[in-house]
Chain A
Amino acid sequence: AQSVTQLDSQVPVFEEAPVELRCNYSSSVSVYLFWYVQYPNQGLQLLLKYLSGSTLVKSINGFEAEFNKSQTSFHLRKPSVHISDTAEYFCAVTTGESYIPTFGRGTSLIVHP
């Protein structure tokens, strides 16, 4: 069975500062990794995903994440955050054996002006 750990429940940061949201996973088989963002009272929106190929994946709004197999991590980064990035971020993992995604507990990104 797979599992996901998001160590930081809350990450406060000032506008235009860089940010990293950490995600570690546990699985005995190959994984597919996802980052989702959730704004208040809304569903989840896919930010980016790693299925195969290049370990660095990027979203259209400046976020990127790198799959690190040796460290079993898929940390999300952005070099300069905006107020509008304030939201809840969820890391998720599936495997070829189980297509049911397992979610981390979420990290609340709070961007201060």
Chain B
Amino acid sequence: GAVVSQHPSRVICKSGTSVKIECRSLDFQATTMFWYRQFPKQSLMLMATSNEGSKATYEQGVEKDKFLINHASLTLSTLTVTSAHPEDSSFYICSARDREAYGYTFGSGTRLTVV
């Protein structure tokens, strides 16, 4: 089945630094990828939708300059949290749309802790 690889699984960084999270579709082409943020015991909050070769579409309230999304190829999307602060600490999950199977495959998530 479709697999999405997300790295790193866990990262701790200092306040003010930037962190890049990668999301790769391993055996299918993902023209669309989604980035979510999940707070403890809560549902997924869609941050942005990225389409290969074009700018990401951000949800209302999500800072574009803080959460940089790049979808440069059909198999790779990256989320960069710039100038991270403790309030950015969260669980980030990517998802890729598999058009052939009409489904959505999720990465394993990244636990970001900003200290």
Interface residues on B, range: 20 to 34
In whole angstroms, what is the CA distance A93 to B90 when docked? 24
| A44 is an interface residue with CB less than 8 A from chain B | yes
- Contact: B49 with A43, CB < 8 Å? no
**Interface Cβ pair total, 8 Å cutoff:** 45
A49 contacts B108, C-beta separation under 8 Å: no
Chain A residues near B (Cβ < 8 Å)? 32, 34, 36, 41-46, 49, 51, 90, 92, 99-101, 103-106, 108
> Contacts A51-B102, A99-B97 given: A43-B46 contact, CB under 8 Å?
no
Tell me whether B106 and A43 are in contact (CB under 8 A).
Answer: yes
Residues of B within 8 A of A (CB): 4, 6, 32, 34, 41-44, 46, 49, 91, 93, 95, 97, 102-109, 111
* B104:A34 contact, CB within 8 angstroms: yes
User: Which residues on the A side are within 8 Å of B6 (C-beta)?
Assistant: 43
- Report how far A108 CA is from B49 CA in the complex, Å: 27
- How far apart are A38's CB and chain B's nearest CB, in angstroms? 9
How far apart are B101's CB and chain A's nearest CB, in angstroms? Answer: 9
How distant is the Cα of A34 from the Cα of B96 in the complex, in angstroms? 15
Residues of the B chain whose Cβ atoms lie less than 8 Å from the Cβ of A101: 34, 104
Q: Are B104 and A46 in contact (CB under 8 A)?
A: yes
